[in-house]
Amino acid sequence: MIVINARFLTQPITGVQRFAVEISRILKKKLPNKVHFVTHPGVIHLDLSKELDAEVIGFNKSHIWEQIDLYLYLIRKKKPLLISFGYTGPLFYNNQIVSIHDMAFKYYRETFSKSFSALYNFLVPKIAKKCLHVITVSESAKKELIQELDIPSEKITVVYNGLSDVFKAKGQPLPNKDRYILTVSSHHPRKNYQRLLEAFSLLENKSIKLFVIGNEIKHFSQSLENKDFDYGKRVKFLKNISDEKLSAYYENAELFVFPSLYEGFGIPVIEAMSKNIGCVVSDIPVFREITGGSVIFVDPKKVESILKGIEAGLILDKKEIDYKISNKFSWETSAGKVLELIK
């Protein structure tokens, strides 16, 4: 038996959970009688839980559940291989593969809640050293893990995020015909939205809007809607958007902008590229890696650079955009790497 730590079934979907969900679905199909998904009480993705035939075990929740309920369950099951897709797992359980997507919890620790930051900076380095193997989502992230966690290169496998099927199909029609620039992410300070909002306020074209799609996450310490600039009705914050609607928002956008200060991967970038819309992104190593240099790069620490990137993006001829690079990001390929690792 291979046990999958399915805590992601109790969490809102961000990039980390997306990775867990898509890989888990394929593992369930490829190894139907070998993988067993376990989670704690409080499942919010009921259909997905049913699809994975997940078992709710124990009484605790969150990290306490991992350290006590999950650990005891594994001992009773004679210590099977455990796969934990979300940075953490039982600290004293060595027979596990853990995915660590980036080092944001260390590099940007002041932007997380104190309890979250303290816990991750304590648990993750120790688990990374104890576990059998580590998965991460880019070569850029792998370099950081080697440097910061002091683990050997051969202990880390890069498994890229993929492009979900919903973004390969045509999205639902939108109810309005606004011309808008789009950005997509949870409300984390390192996503650099304050500089983006300031750059947008300086844009001469006042007829275009900015749509910000993403939810606030309780561990993050800043809300976008406490903004210092007067945009009138030009900035629209959209929350709890389904993937089907998100696909449509990508398709109908004039431009996609993602000025993040730091990423381990950046799934919205490949989602936007798959729709062949102009993309303006931060000039950081991981975006050089996954885009192949086929986007407009900006200095995320300079408002003027972000503004110039937006202005350049808005005059791009969409007929000349062809982001074939996005075709290489497949969940099937990524799950295949995880299967090889398991074997």
Query: Is the residue at 336 inside a domain?
Result: no
Q: Are residues 293 and 145 in the same domain?
A: no
Dump pLDDT digits (tens) for 17-38.
Answer: 999 999 999 999 999 999 999 9
Would residue 108 count as lying in a domain?
Answer: yes
Residues 177 and 215 in one domain: yes
The pLDDT of residue 190 is above 70: yes
According to DSSP, the residues that pair with 84 across neighbouring strands are: 5, 98
Contacts of 329 (CB under 8 A, 6+ apart): 160, 161, 162, 163, 270, 290
pLDDT of residue 231: 65
Q: Domain range spanning residue 96?
A: 2-158
pLDDT score recorded for residue 283: 97
Residue 266 — very low, low, confident or very high, per pLDDT cuts 50/70/90? very high
The predicted structure's pLDDT at residue 14? 87
- Report the candidate in 214, 280, 224, 231 with the shortest Cα–Cα distance to residue 253: 280
Same domain, 27 and 103: yes
User: What does the pLDDT read at residue 219?
Assistant: 45
| Residue 197 vs residues 52, 61, 90, 304, 306: alpha-carbon distances, Å | 40, 37, 41, 12, 10
Average pLDDT over residues 33-49: 97
- pLDDT tens string 291-315: 987 799 999 999 999 999 999 999 9
- 308-338: pLDDT as tens digits: 999 999 998 777 777 776 668 999 999 999 9
Name the domain count of the chain: 2
Same domain? 320 vs 186: yes
| 231 inside domain | yes
| 201 in a structural domain | yes
Q: Which residue has the higher pLDDT, 188 or 23?
A: 23
Secondary structure of residue 54 in the 3-state scheme: coil
- Residue 3 has phi, psi (to 5 degrees) of -100, 135
Chain segment 138-183, per-residue pLDDT in tens: 999 999 999 999 999 999 999 999 999 898 888 777 877 889 999 9
Same domain, 238 and 296: yes
CATH no. for residue 101? Answer: 3.40.50.2000
pLDDT tens column, 111-131:
888 999 999 999 999 999 999
What's the pLDDT at 230?
A: 57
Same domain, 150 and 299: no
- Decide: pTM greater than 0.75: yes
pLDDT of residue 168: 86
298 SS3 class: strand
Instruction: State pLDDT tens for residues 234-265.
Output: 999 898 888 899 999 999 999 999 999 999 99
pLDDT at 220: 41
